[in-house]
Structure 1
């Protein structure tokens, strides 16, 4: 569990629980005992339940009667579906973004890409996850489509606890990083068609890479 509010300050239960899930500190399927969480944060069970209800609505946790709460665990089919959602939302935002790119946007995209490169060289899968998220959000930020960006982030969040990049071999991760470089070139050229085509190729590669561990019980749950 992660507590970020500091000693003597009111804990941000919702933010801290969300962070613990998104960073992979609490893996999919991990039980979330309300009384233990409440004791850790020094609060009553009531705010813990309220925070978990919010995370339930976000798709980050699940609840079973007579069992309790746990970190949500997707089937592989559900995981792929969320990648389809991300791809569609990203394409719409990229088309709007290219006409509004300025030097500040370009600098943020390049900085995120450099962060990705550093993570690839270090073999840092958590660093790669964070930098990849930063990179893709930087590409669509110029669109100004705030509601779409929120939906995109939500879809990304639901897949994040499985930490798929931690299971991707270095060679595949390098290929994904090369995709990002081609996306930057199209982004800087303000070529929406080329940018979306490169994004589509990137998602096709992601699906291929992730399908290799579709049967991993630590990552995905068997369909009912």
Structure 2
């Protein structure tokens, strides 16, 4: 470098790469796809966040090839998108697409709940109750991230006894695609309290093995969710226009 020439600016690490966490055990290969998926599902990477292949590869200490392979899988899962001459980014939906995924979840959950009630036993009741108690703690603490995590555990616990592996996979996939928008972070505390009350009624119907009431409460819960989500439908930091 010539004397007196300005020093090059330090290379800034991308937002996506800076928030990655490696979970592989010492002596084992990096868990590239699992850790990238976990970063996206955490909601820490907002929709539209660019995913620079070379920087992610450096983070994991691998060549760009496994990163590209992971991105192809995540593209198929709907978690990332690819734009020619721009690259990969965390998928950004229109609000209509986002809302549609909630409708998909509601339909799949209703189908699974009827089967779950017929198969459930005391251990399933305990699992649902434990998740519901976790919701109560998160609500009392005002912890929207913990509330969101416990809410997902609650819904998973309700449908798990159905034994419908493929349906549950589709249900979880639809839920995953909405995660980067961090919907519960955008709902006021009173709204989360109302959702908790919905869950309380769903728990009572599940334990009573009342499939009709459980499905009705589930459908009411999704109506309450989608009504609340309308409040940030025009947020272009989260959704594409249209």
DSSP 3-state at the match of 1:69: strand
Partner Cα separation in structure 2 for residue 20 and residue 190 of structure 1: 37
Measured in 2, the distance between the counterparts of 1:25 and 1:5 equals 20
Corresponding pairs, count: 223
Matched, 1:143 2:162: yes
Pair member with larger Rg: 2
Partners of 1:23 and 1:126 within 8 A in 2: no
Unaligned runs of 5+ in 1: none
| Aligned-partner Cα distance in 2 for 1:17–1:6 | 16
Matched, 1:52 2:66: no
Q: Does 1:32 align with 2:86?
A: no
Tell me which residue corresponds to 2:16. Answer: none
Match of 1:89 among 102, 108, 116: 108
Alignment TM-score, normalising by the size of structure 1: 0.98
Equivalent residue of 1:212, what SS?
Answer: helix
Query: What SS class does the counterpart of residue 66 from structure 1 fall into?
Result: coil
Partner of 2:81, secondary structure, is strand
What corresponds to 1:103 in structure 2?
122
CA distance in 2, matches of 1:121, 1:9: 40
The offset of 1:9, in angstroms, is 3.0
Residue 143 (structure 1) shift = 0.5
Structure 1 moving runs of 4+ over 2 Å: 6-9
What TM-score, normalized by structure 2, do the two folds share? 0.90
Gaps of 5+ in 2: 1-19
Structure 2 match to 1:218: 237
Superposed CA deviations along residues 147-178 of structure 1, whole A, max 9, x for unmatched, are 10000000000011111000100000000000
Q: CA deviation at 1:125?
A: 1.4
Quote the offset at 1:123 in angstroms.
1.4
Given that 1:98 and 1:187 are in contact with CA atoms closer than 8 Å, whether structure 2 keeps it comes out as yes
